[in-house]
Amino acid sequence: MLRLVLEYDGSDFHGWQAQPSVRTVEGVLREALRQVTGESPRLSAAGRTDAGAHSHGQVVGVPLVREWEAERLSSALNAVLPGDVAVRHAEPARDDFNARYDALNRTYRYVVVSRRERAPLLRRHAWQVSGDLDAAAMRAACALLVGRHDFAAFGRSPREGGSTVRTVERAEVRRVTAPVADEIPAHVIEVSADAFLYGMMRAVAGALVAVGRGRMSVEDVAAMLDGPTDRATVTVAPARGLHQWSVTYPAAPAAETNT
């Protein structure tokens, strides 16, 4: 078994999971593995990113019949993978490793650009909103997410009838300048949790941006956590601003997959 860490620009993918007739990250990785190894292994992934979302640290478990030296396989895969996906790191893993179920926590980042003029250089990797955002209000609302809550108002369980309770270990909003141009203001919403519901991070980003624009209050976010009955009617942020950042596993010393 090998553990791969992938980086990809999700703009031209229909998400992670392999699907017939559409281009997916899992699909192109499977094809690369077939070309390099001649095998078609059943893969496990830390998360199923949405169509258009990106990853800096997607972890994939790859069970192969033939033994491969990790660095050699990584180099061979990168030689045949398309330019919008790459293997950043590869290492041996135990035979029963599962990238999804063995993860301790996951970290996502969401990037919001606040500028009235269009920002074409960032259009594939950030959500642009017009005008300034109230960063203090966004931080106050974001702080409420930390702890163990029922996040039913922000997403749905990956299993029918499954629990919507999740534990958020860290949540913050940082004001930064976009790396391509210092004058472009941006906000990075970063959340680390034991697991995420489907759509949870994009709904969180949508709610926090609504608070920053004065369209929701901090109290509204608190109410969504206190007594959720169904999916909240907040604007779900577009997938292009979502970045799967890292996944942490119990096996040190290389537990953090994105540094």
> Which amino acid is residue 21, in one-letter code?
S
Distance, C-alpha 18 to centroid of its chain: 17
Q: For residue 112, give the nearest of 249, 238, 254 by alpha carbon.
A: 238
Q: CB-based contacts of 185: which residues, under 8 Å, 6+ apart? A: 113, 114, 115, 132, 175, 176, 177, 178
* Cα 142 from Cα 175, distance rounded (Å): 13
Catalytic residue among 9, 50, 102, 230: 50
Tokens at 159, concatenated: 């299993």
3-state secondary structure of 28: helix
Residue 238 and residue 122 in contact, taking contact as beta carbons nearer than 8 Å: no
With tokens 């330019």, the residue in question is 83
| Cα gap 197→166, rounded to integer Å | 8
Q: CA 13 to CA 144: how far, in whole Å?
A: 33
- Is-catalytic flag, 50? yes
In Å, what is the CA distance from 242 to each residue of 40, 69, 256? Answer: 29, 33, 19
Element (H, E) at 56: strand 54-62
Residue 108 annotated as binding?
yes
66, two tokens? 């033939």
Binding site feature residues = 108
List active site positions. Answer: 50
Binding site feature residues for substrate = 108
